[in-house]
Structure 1
Amino acid sequence: MARVRAVIVGAGIGGLSAAVALEDAGVEVVILERAERLDPVGAGISLFRNAMSALGRLGVSDAVTRRAAPAFRVEIRAADGRVLGAMPEDVIAGALALHRGDLQMALLEASPSPRLGADVVAVAEDGAGVLVKCRDGTSEG
């Protein structure tokens, strides 16, 4: 029986998470990413218990925890710095704070290497599956 194959477009947090989960399930995974290189971009994010549980199921919670710091207080602020609200301590218990790029890099280490510079221009479905075409003339499916 042929191994199931999945083509994932995008090596962001969602694409890499899907790649890790699918590969763990025995699916052959190809990741196509438009960027020529993956640089840690973005801002800080907080990961609460449910997110850490999901990352644990993906096998990356230790790698994420090594890159993160405990979140002791989460505030919502206006542009001028005024505190608009804060999350209760029981909600943030166990939460971690880290740079979005650090989460992406932890997922990247656990996933198949993405094909960089793969600018997807078309996706076509037929009875046999899906064909993903890239600007450089290559295709995956």
Structure 2
Amino acid sequence: MIDDKYYRYAAEQMERASREKKKYNGYKDKPERICFYTGRPYAERHEVFPGRPNRQISIEYGFQVDICPEKHRELQDNITPWAKAENQKWRSTYERAYIDRLMDEGEREEDALQSWMRLIGRNYIEELIPR
């Protein structure tokens, strides 16, 4: 049976969620963005980790790549073998960088991986196995 305490908690969470401002990639510096693959200007910013919470995390932690619109669509659709391989490469690269940064700050690799799993929820490096 759902009680009054649940409804108060749910209302508090909804209020908190509505107060949190969503992060987004603006267009102010778009002319200076250069595509990683083609070198063309006016690149779009690709968030490496998709999905509502992970996109926000990608923006907050800088898990992003500047790429031209054509490559961006291909990576977002994730249909071609190239896009699948590139997405996996970027995800494992950013995971490794995150784990290495935590290890430089004194954490053990296992603890850094657990921190990553709490942040993103998925491991992209095959050699690492979460506990």
TM-score, L = length of structure 2: 0.26
Identify the structure with the greater helix proportion.
2
Identify the structure with the greater strand proportion.
1
Q: Which has the higher contact order (CA 8 A, sep 6+)?
A: 1
